[in-house]
Structure formats: structure tokens, C-alpha cells
């Protein structure tokens, strides 16, 4: 799907730039030209960058998560 119609850049080309390390619209534009003209596609590019970084964040374990210790094998009180 075309994201940047000014330069006919697809979502997969933009994703490739992000996967290669582009962390801003400017970096994406430098890598594949997307977002480098009228700017109307920048919102979508920013969403793609944000989504990529959310996926790469470590999953933190909640202190309220259920215990993985099987019943009866916990610390004796
Ligand atoms: S649509 Fe991407 S710069 Fe115009």
C-alpha cells in the first residue's frame, strides 16, 4: 500500500527503513524519501515508528501477576 504518494513509497519500504534504524520522520525521509515533500504522510510514518518501538519494548512483569509457582510448592509459612 502506498503511504507516500509524492514519492510513491509503500508501507513495506517505510517499514524497512524503520527496521534498519530510522527513528524519526526525517530519518525515514533520508532513507526512502517518504515524507520529504508535502508532509501529509508524516502522521502515518510517525504511527509506524511508534508502533515499532512499542513492539521492541521489554515486557515488564507486574507485581500483581499470578504466581507461576504451582500450588503446594510455594514457600512454607
Ligand atoms: S505524501 Fe508523503 S511527502 Fe507528500
Please say whether the beta carbons of 74 and 66 come within 8 A: no
Q: Give residue limits of the domains in the chain.
A: 2-56
* CA 21 to ligand 1 centroid distance, Å: 21
State the pLDDT at residue 57: 81
Pocket test for ligand 1, best of 1, 2, 39 (most atoms within 8 A of CB): 39
Note the pLDDT tens digit of each residue in 15-48: 999 999 999 999 999 999 999 999 999 999 999 9
The answer to whether the predicted template modeling score (pTM) of the entire model surpasses 0.85 is no
DSSP three-state, residue 2: strand
Pocket test for ligand 1, best of 14, 25, 41 (most atoms within 8 A of CB): 41
Is pLDDT above 80 for 70?
A: no
Residue nearest to atom 4 of ligand 1 (CA): 38
State the pLDDT at residue 71: 61
CATH fold label, 2-56: Arc Repressor Mutant, subunit A (1.10.10)
Amino acid at each position: 500500500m502506498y503511504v507516500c504518494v509524492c514519492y510513491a513509497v509503500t508501507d513495506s519500504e517505510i517499514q524497512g527503513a524503520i527496521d534498519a534504524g530510522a527513528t524519526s520522520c526525517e530519518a525515514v525521509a533520508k532513507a526512502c524519501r517518504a515524507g520529504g515533500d508535502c508532509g501529509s504522510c508524516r502522521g502515518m510514518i510517525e504511527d509506524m515508528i511508534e508502533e515499532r518501538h512499542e513492539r521492541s519494548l521489554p515486557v515488564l512483569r507486574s507485581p500483581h501477576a499470578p504466581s507461576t509457582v504451582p500450588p503446594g510448592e510455594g514457600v512454607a509459612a
